[in-house]
Amino acid sequence: MLKIGVVGASGYSGVELTRLTLSHPRLELRLATSNSYAGQQLSEIYPQFSGLDLKLVNNDLNQLAEHCQLVFLCLPHGRSMAFAQALRDRDIPVIDLSADFRLPDREIYRQYYEVEHTSPALLSSAIYGLPELHRERIRSASLIANPGCYATGALLGLLPLFKSGLPIEDVIVDAKSGISGAGRKPAIDTSFVEAASSMTAYKVASHRHQPEIYSQLRAISQKDFLFTFTPHLAPMKRGILSTIYVKLSSSELKRDFYQLYSDFYREEPFVRLLPPDVMPRTRSVAGTNFCQINLALDKKARRLIIVTVLDNLIKGAAGQAIENLNLTRGWDETLGLTNLAPLA
C-alpha cells in the first residue's frame, strides 16, 4: 500500500480526494490536513465520513515527510509552491491541484495570479498532468501540476484538432461551471440567494485558465492563434459544460471530424465520444472521472462546434490527480476511478 497525504482535506477538492483514496485498493491515507479544523474528525465537517476515524491534523511538513510516500496539495494558488518545494527537497513526490506549477512562464503566472513565483527551478521540472496529452512524461514525474477544471474540458475538446495538424486561427471556448468550482470558502457571489436560478459570466477576457489552455495548445501548434475564453457560473453544484467554436477554412469543411475524434479517443479510458446527435450533459458524468464529448459542423458559419462535459471536482481535480498517481506508479490508470454517474 502506498502511504499518502492530502493537504487541504477540508476543502472541496481535498475532500473528494480523500473520498476517492478510501476506495482505492492500493492507497493508504496516512494524513489528512487542515489548519482551520485540526483536531476535528472529518465527519464533523462532512457527515458522509461518519463512522470512519479520520482526524484532521495541521499542515505540518515534518509529519508529512515522515509518514507519507506521496502528497496531494489541495491548497489555494500561491500557497502550494512552498509546500511543494519543501516536500521535493525531501524527495517526496507531489501532485499539486493548484495552479502554482501549471504555467511554464513565471512572468505570466505573476501577471494572472498576482503573486511572485518562489520556486522557478521547480517550475521547469513540473509535468502538466493531462494524461491524454502527456501520459508518457507523467509516468516518470515527481512533481505533477494537475490541470485546472475549465482547462481540462477545453483541452480535451480541442486536442484531436490541434494534434491533427489542422491550421487553426480562431478558437472560442464558452464554459459554464457549477458553483463548487469556486471552492468551499463562503463568498457573496456564490451564496445560494445570489447564485441559484441565475447565471452570470465572470472574469470575461481575464480568467486565469486562459493562459493555461493557450500555452498547452500553443505548444502543440507552434503557432499563435486567436483565443477567447469566457467562463460562466451556472446554478448547479458541480459540473462544467464547455461549448467550443473553431473557425475553419472552406477546404476543411469536407473532413470527417466525427471520425477524427473517434479515432483520437478510441483507446482513452476516460474520454467518451457520444453517438452522433447525442449532446453531452453534466449530469451524466457527475461524480465520475469521465469526460463526454460530441461535435457538430456548422457549414454555413464554417465553424466546428465541440461540446464537452466533466465533473470539475473529479476529472477536473481529484479524479485526474488519482489518475496521474496511478500512472506514476505503473498501475492501471483507471484504478479506483471506474464508477459511473448515478441516475440523478
Residue at 100: amino acid letter:
D
Q: How many residues bind ligand NAP (CB under 6 A)?
A: 30
Site stretch for ligand NAP (CB under 6 A), options 21-29, 94-102, 192-200, 333-341: 94-102
- Which residues, 6 or more positions from 178, have their beta carbon under 8 angstroms from its beta carbon? 234, 236, 237, 238, 239, 240, 282, 312
Q: What is the DSSP letter of 41?
A: B
Helix/strand/coil for 58 = coil
Q: List the one residue from 313, 314, 325, 327 that touches ligand NAP (CB under 6 A).
A: 313
Give residues 192-231 in contact with ligand NAP (rule: CB under 6 A). none
Angle at 316 between CA 314 and CA 322, to 5 degrees: 55
312 sits near ligand NAP (criterion: CB under 6 A): yes
- Residue from 68, 74, 149, 291 carrying the catalytic annotation: 149
Between residues 161 and 316, which has the closer beta carbon with respect to ligand NAP? 316
Note if 74 is an active site residue.
Answer: no
Question: How far is the C-alpha of 325 from the C-alpha of 338, rounded, in Å?
Answer: 15
34 sits near ligand NAP (criterion: CB under 6 A): yes
184 sits near ligand NAP (criterion: CB under 6 A): yes
Q: Which three cell numbers stand for residue 68?
A: 507519507
Site stretch for ligand NAP (CB under 6 A), options 180-188, 247-255, 281-289, 292-300: 180-188
Burial level of 224, CB count in 10 A (0-12/13-18/19+)?
exposed
Q: List the one residue from 5, 93, 129, 148 that touches ligand NAP (CB under 6 A).
A: 148
Helix/strand/coil for 334 = coil
Nearest to 132 by CA among 163, 169, 106: 163
14 sits near ligand NAP (criterion: CB under 6 A): yes
Q: List the one residue from 67, 79, 247, 281 that touches ligand NAP (CB under 6 A).
A: 79
Site stretch for ligand NAP (CB under 6 A), options 33-41, 106-114, 210-218, 228-236: 33-41
- The helix or strand, by DSSP H or E, that contains position 135, with its residue range, turns out to be helix 131-139
Position of minimal CB gap to ligand NAP? 11
Between residues 182 and 274, which has the closer beta carbon with respect to ligand NAP? 182
12 sits near ligand NAP (criterion: CB under 6 A): yes
Q: Which three cell numbers stand for residue 322?
A: 488519482
Closest separation in Å from C-beta 178 to ligand NAP? 8
Question: How far is the C-alpha of 332 from the C-alpha of 339, rounded, in Å?
Answer: 15
- The helix or strand, by DSSP H or E, that contains position 251, with its residue range, turns out to be none
The residues that are catalytic are 149
Q: Which residues bind ligand NAP (CB under 6 A)?
A: 8, 10-14, 34-37, 59, 74-77, 79, 97-99, 148-149, 180-181, 183-185, 312-313, 316-317
